[in-house]
Amino acid sequence: MLNLALGAMEYGTRIDEQTSFRLLDEYVDAGGEWIDTANCYAFWQDPSGHGGQSEELLGRWLAQRPGVRDRVKLATKVGCEPLWPGSWPEHSEGLGAQAIDAALETSLRRLGVDHIDLYWAHRDDRTAPLEETVAAFGKHAAAGTIGRLGLSNWALWRVERMRDLANQLGVMAPSALQLRYSYLQPRPFVRDHIHDHRFGWITDEVLDYAENNPEQQLFAYSPLMSGGFENRTDRPIDPAFDHPGTTRRLEALTDLAESLGTTRSAVVLAWLAGGTPAVTPIVGISTPDYLTTALTGTRLTLTPDQRRQLDEVW
């Protein structure tokens, strides 16, 4: 299977149903397995101010393709749905037991399935007792409605505290982490300015943690920086990455991509998927060309020398 997840965040809102279905079909036919969404996608693009459109579209796609459910793994999230239109991020559903119960029931109904393969806590909720959150996820895992539990945008010390509590309670512990990551690195202490999540970035500490805890699978969102690697004038690289290291890394990336006859984006995906520890990139695929890039990158194997060419640039 491809070490790639299809990000369906904008399916059902910005990306229309016909295009979404085509991309999903082509992804699965190419050997793709993971499809990643969230119960809050995409509240900022829908007039209602609430999410659910992506899950609903995926449910319609699955219903019209008997047997395809057995070929894919579904990942969705709980925790960030606004309580009312415009209330994000100050007021969202959070991770209390009632919120988790209601969100999971709704996601299962929208998707038309009896279980979620990987259920993400979308962000930490420090207003909810962690014991309550752990017990709620554990209850659904024991019932078979959650196959695995993952944490997105959590500080590592909270990840470990949750794992310890899960072990004490004898319930499922998290086995996946989802954070933002790419070949370029932002300047220190500006990470909360490039995304809504303070701890939403894979750092050296996270990589070391995953390498020494192999049961923890790493997923990376926004690996292609919204098209920033392809010199798109409408998608400039965020100012948080404006430093000499970015210039040097882009030069190395360009040299390697040209020598391989491929794109910089494809090389970035190969670098992520084939590294140690391996990172599963989540790519928001909106056009057939993006899908081709994603497939090319995850099928590309970099030699040790080529990886050094990229890694030794600081």
Cα distance between residue 121 and residue 311, in whole Å: 31
DSSP string, 147-192: EEEEEES--HHHHHHHHHHHHHHTSPPP-EEEEE--SS-PPTT-GG
**Predicted confidence (pLDDT) per residue in 150-174, tens digit:** 999 999 999 999 999 999 999 999 9
Give the chain's mean pLDDT: 95
Structural domains in the chain plus CATH codes: 5-311 (3.20.20.100)
**Predicted confidence (pLDDT) per residue in 81-96, tens digit:** 999 999 988 999 999 9
Residue 125 has pLDDT above 80, yes or no: yes
pLDDT band at 193 (very low <50, low <70, confident <90, very high): low
**Predicted confidence (pLDDT) per residue in 267-303, tens digit:** 999 999 999 999 999 999 999 999 999 999 999 999 9
Catalytic sites, residue numbers = 41
pLDDT value at residue 231:
78
